[in-house]
Each structure stands twice: as C-alpha cells, then as structure tokens.
Chains A and B, each alone.
Chain A
C-alpha cells in the first residue's frame, strides 16, 4: 500500500508531462525537430550516443562528488569552529555569506587563473556553490541546543567535548541533513556550470561541455538526453543523501518518520 501511495502520484505526473511533451512536439513544432524533439527521438539519441553520455556522466559525477565532499568537510568544520564561540561566528559568518552571494560566473576567470583550465577549477566551483547550505544549517543546528539540556550538562560537569559529542552534534543532525539535501543537487549544478565556463581544457569533457557541443551542432535530441542525464545525476545525489539521513534519523526525528507510524 505504501509503495502504491508513494509511487503512483509522481508516476501519473510523469506520464502526463511526457504525454504533453509528445503532443507538443508532434503538433506545434511538427517537423522542426531541432526545437523540440519527440521523447522517442531523445531516447534513441541517448542509445546512439551511450558511450559519450556515459563518459560525460562519469566526469561530471567525479567533479560534483569531489566538490560535494569538499563542501561537506569545509562546511561542517567551519560550522563547528563558528559554534565554539560567538566572536568566531561574528568574524567568519559574513564571509560565508559572501561566498554564497558572489557571482560565480564573474569570479570564474580568477578561479581559472589560480587553478587552470581543468577539472580542479570545476570542482572548486561545485564546492563554492554547495558549501553554504551545509555550513549554515549545521551552524543553526549546533547553536539550537535546548537551554535546559545545556543546564543539565553543565550541572553534571560535562566538558565542552562531551557536550558537543552527546548533545550538540546529535541534536544538529536533522539540520545537517536538511543542508546536505539542498547541497547535493547544487553540487551537480555547480559542476555543470563550471564545465560551461571552464570547458574541458582540451580533455574529454563532462555533461556541461557536451551540452554546449551538442547545441552548436543543433543536435537537440542529444542535448535533451544530456540535460536529462545531468538531472538524474543530481537526483541520485539527493536520493543517496536522503536515504542516509532517513536511516540515521528515523528512530527519533519527525522529518524521517513514516506518516503512519
């Protein structure tokens, strides 16, 4: 029953959207296949170029995953440091916000100057785009420990390390995962944007590079397939993080519970 309830509604939406797409492609755009290819054309383009698609997916995956892991490490560590003392938070938080608001496209030239026309630059961009939600949510979680809990720990002479390990960190986990879920998708977007700006440096490129290439050849069906692959990659990132979060939180946190339990 649960599977039916969870799977049927999104599946119905999927069928509707693909149906509408097919209808549009067939009627409005008629034969101009390069504006809106039919779903079956996209599918066959994906099969015909499976090799290219796969290698692009692999490259983008590595870049996005590296940026994401870097963002987790830096974001969580930064949040922990800032949670230690109010002056630290006041000193560093504004720069974390700046990192979020800086237009990536505008600083890309600087990143290229520093790291070169290569995957490292792409990873840096994926990192920059995905770090803030992790940092911000983790910090929020660490700082929202209950006053009475803190009193209880203080009364029984718990060290700051104990307080962190047994109170702040477990209490912050729901927020941490909220941040991770947002950042998972952002990391993939960051990698694609990075590839757009930086290119492949003459190497075999990721999906972002291939999208530009397909567009220049008016290979719209392939372009659609590549966009779809990138979307699914982001979705996969999100799914992995969600499953992990639910496993960790389901015994106690409302966000991870089945509605009927």
Chain B
C-alpha cells in the first residue's frame, strides 16, 4: 500500500504546485495552538483532503488557504488568488433568493455582467442537476439539493481552486455518496484543484489523490497517505479489498491519534 510521509504531491500532478503552504501556523488570541507549522504543496488539478478529529486545525488550515483567516506565521502562496471558491458545511444560501438568484450571488459580488451571470448560473445549475428548479426557494429544497445549489454557486465562478469545509457532513449516507460521485465527475470535467475537509475517512479515501491526516492539541499534520486508485472512480471501489484495507490503515492512524 503506497503511502509516504513526505509533503510533496505525486509527480503526476505536481509540476507547478499552485498552492504552496510554508510554515503556516495559527495561535488564537486565547492561546490555543490551532495549528503548528504546516508545510504542504498542492499540485494543479490535485484532489487533497484534510482529515482528522475535531480540533486538529483542518478547518483553520482551509480557512487560511481561503484567505478567511490570517495565519500567525508562515505564508500561503496561491497561483491565482482571485480564483478561489469556498463551500461551507452549511449551504449558506440566502433564503429570500430563488435558486437561480442564489446561483448568481457570487458572480454579482464579483461584478460579472447580468447576461453572463445568467448564462453561467444556468450552466452551473445544469451541472449539479438542479435544472428546472430555478424559481424555487431554498426552503423548498431537500438538504442534498441545497448542497447542490451551494456547489453550483461556487462552480459558477469557474474557480481554479475549490475549497470545501465538510460540505456533505450534514447529509444522510445515500445522499452523501451520490454527491461524492457528482463532485468527482464535476471535478474531472472542470479540472480545478480541490482541497476538501472532512472527518469521514471513507469519504476522504474515495475522493482524494492524497489524504492529509491531522491530529489535535496542538493541531498538526500527522501523516500523508497517497491514494493509489485510478480515476474515474466508481461506487464499486468502496467494496474492493484494497479500498477497505487502506481505510483500515488510516483508521488505525486515527486511533493512534485519539490515544
């Protein structure tokens, strides 16, 4: 089983490394060490998942990459800062806007002209399977559809970097697995670089090129696993012995952390 502790991405995807995290640390004003210095390079088009129990600093690291939190030390270099999209655990839709207008929100904030806004929102809604729901309000959507809309809103930006903070953790198992497949399909079509945060290890293994296991008190990178399965991945992968074995190995690593 291929895994490595080095913080470099697999050669296949690493050439330019558009996200370079160097010595990034975060200490909160109350003294909590949310993150001790982290070095990580994320390659173009790579799918990297930050995995760990709560308090390990995975969300803090993602927020620092997104520019939502300032690091106490270190730097994050991103090839194109303007091209980041963030998806929250909560779909964070505006309830007074229709599906269509929600999908246009970020384009509005970015000053994209109306005709283009409409076209890009429509394309994004189509991509996530929400075509036909344009005039609905978020309250009329199921949890899974709300998250689809949240993804569409980010996709409409046509981002190079897609940052996701436990986006599927509030969904039921079936919906979650469906959305994982949809996310992989869209990622393959769009070719963006993904940084995904989760506490679900099978989700991490299924989605990623690399899984960065983090541990708490203080938050740090424990180990990085390379996931060898070829894309496109299909749900059958979840039932293979290789998948299960790798899952068990990472589970063991997480258990060590918990002790």
CA–CA, A170 and B96, complex, Å: 7
Give chain B residues whose Cβ lies under 8 Å from the Cβ of A149: 92, 94
B66 at interface, CB cutoff 8 A: yes
Proximity string of chain B (34-51) to chain A, C-beta cutoff 8 Å, 1 when within and 0 when not: 000000000000000000
Q: Are A146 and B92 in contact (CB under 8 A)?
A: yes
Please tell me which stretch of B82-90, B168-176, B219-227 contacts chain A, meaning at least 4 of its Cβ atoms lie within 8 angstroms of it: B82-90
Q: Which of B76-111 contact A (CB under 8 A)?
A: 84, 86, 88, 90, 92, 94-96, 105-106, 108-110
Rank and list the top 3 A-B pairs by shortest CB-CB distance, nearest first. Answer: A156-B109, A148-B92, A252-B95
A160 at interface, CB cutoff 8 A: no
Q: Are B68 and A151 in contact (CB under 8 A)?
A: yes
Q: Which of B127-156 contact A (CB under 8 A)?
A: 137-139
Proximity string of chain A (116-160) to chain B, C-beta cutoff 8 Å, 1 when within and 0 when not: 000000000000000000000000000000101101111111100
Q: Are B96 and A155 in contact (CB under 8 A)?
A: no
CA–CA, A154 and B105, complex, Å: 13
B67 at interface, CB cutoff 8 A: yes
Q: Are A158 and B137 in contact (CB under 8 A)?
A: no
**CB within 8 Å for A253 and B95 given contacts A152-B86, A153-B109, A156-B110:** yes
A162 at interface, CB cutoff 8 A: yes
Give chain A residues whose Cβ lies under 8 Å from the Cβ of B96: 170-171, 173, 251-253
CA–CA, A252 and B67, complex, Å: 31
CA–CA, A170 and B108, complex, Å: 16
Q: How many residues from A make CB contacts under 8 Å with B?
A: 21
Q: How many residues from B make CB contacts under 8 Å with A?
A: 19
**CB within 8 Å for A155 and B94 given contacts A162-B109, A251-B137, A252-B137:** no
Give the residue name and chain of the B residue nearest to A249 (CB): B96
Give chain A residues whose Cβ lies under 8 Å from the Cβ of B88: 148, 151-152
A178 at interface, CB cutoff 8 A: no
Closest Cβ–Cβ distance, residue B103 to chain A (whole Å): 13
A26 at interface, CB cutoff 8 A: no
Known: A155-B84, A156-B110, A251-B96. 14 other contacts (CB 8 A): A148-B88, A151-B68, A151-B88, A152-B92, A155-B86, A156-B109, A166-B109, A251-B137, A252-B95, A252-B137, A252-B138, A253-B95, A253-B96, A254-B139
A167 at interface, CB cutoff 8 A: yes
Q: Are B109 and A252 in contact (CB under 8 A)?
A: no
7 contacts between A and B (CB under 8 A): A148-B88, A148-B90, A151-B68, A151-B86, A162-B109, A253-B96, A254-B139
Closest Cβ–Cβ distance, residue A249 to chain B (whole Å): 8
Give chain A residues whose Cβ lies under 8 Å from the Cβ of B90: 148
Give chain A residues whose Cβ lies under 8 Å from the Cβ of B86: 151-152, 155
Proximity string of chain A (246-259) to chain B, C-beta cutoff 8 Å, 1 when within and 0 when not: 00000111100000
Give the residue name and chain of the A residue nearest to B105 (CB): A166
Give chain B residues whose Cβ lies under 8 Å from the Cβ of A171: 94, 96
CA–CA, A170 and B101, complex, Å: 14
CB < 8 Å neighbour of A155 from B66, B95, B139: B66
Q: Are A252 and B108 in contact (CB under 8 A)?
A: no
**CB within 8 Å for A155 and B108 given contacts A146-B92, A148-B90, A149-B92:** no
Give the residue name and chain of the B residue nearest to A170 (CB): B96
